[in-house]
Structure 1
């Protein structure tokens, strides 16, 4: 599937999905970096968005998957960093488009709003779909220009 390291992180609302996706990806030969959470105790999703942003910035991972209960809060937190392009998706089409048109480097899923088979499908598509570049590259470059780390 890929030789890159993929970071996974979630709060307590995405914990079960994170464990399931970690196993799924490892079965496919993907190197997984688990940034937490590691138990079901209530935690704050922004902390895991920060951990993801740091892993991408320091090169520990090249892309990542974030989860919280709905995916909304953690996607807002992750997109505060200029080098993060986190896309909350709900289906295969969104997973493909976030890579093809937006060069998303973080897939965001709702642990309480999406079933495991759709989550696996989205992760698989996210990791195997290339950025199209072209007219989309200009738009993605503008995202970095307007952001701050």
Structure 2
């Protein structure tokens, strides 16, 4: 699977750990930055990753900022994106199974690297269940198209 990843300056230390982990799991990773710890604005990176996923250039995306909140809000402004912020594995798993999320976000000031790996692994291993959940995802897309 191809995964797009992005971060602001606060996520700079956690990102290489996650990239290494993704590669160990056999995934291809495209890094959209940031590439230094100089102050930057998270919407730029949320948008880059989201546009890449929405265009089908990546299967999924992962975003990292201080809390995961701001960068996920930016990503969710891109049509077709269903980004979720998770600080534990259970919500990550259910977000894929029930909501068919295509971007995962978390905060490097909220969780450590081992928890981040557990969240990523649970999210990646989960599959959208469809069925009654498909109707709800379709409803979300309808709101987006209004």
RMSD: 1.0
TM-score by length of 1: 0.93
Q: Does 1:136 align with 2:133?
A: yes
1:120-135 matches, within 5 Å, as 120-135=117-132
Deviation, 1:133, is 0.8
C-alpha displacement at 1:111, in angstroms?
1.1
Match of 2:56 in 1: 59
Q: Distance between the aligned counterparts of 2:52 and 2:25, measured in 1? A: 22
Q: Please state whether the residue corresponding to 1:22 is helix, strand or coil.
A: helix
2:102 paired with 1:89:
no
CA distance in 2, matches of 1:60, 1:34: 13
Matches of 2:54 and 2:87 in 1, distance apart?
26
Deviation at 1:27, TM superposition (A): 1.6
Structure 1 residue 53 displacement after superposition:
1.7
Listed as ranges, the gaps of 5+ residues in structure 2 are none
TM-superposed deviation, 1:16: 1.2
How many residues align structurally? 145
The DSSP-based 3-state class of the residue aligned with 1:101 is helix
- Structure 1: gaps spanning 5 or more residues: none
Structure 1, residues 71-125: CA drift from partner, whole Å, max 9, x if none? 1111111111221000001101111111011100000110111011110011111
Runs of 4+ in 1 over 3 A off after TM superposition: none
Q: Normalized against structure 2, the TM-score is what?
A: 0.95
Residues 1-149 of structure 1: pairs in structure 2 closer than 5 A: 4-147=1-144
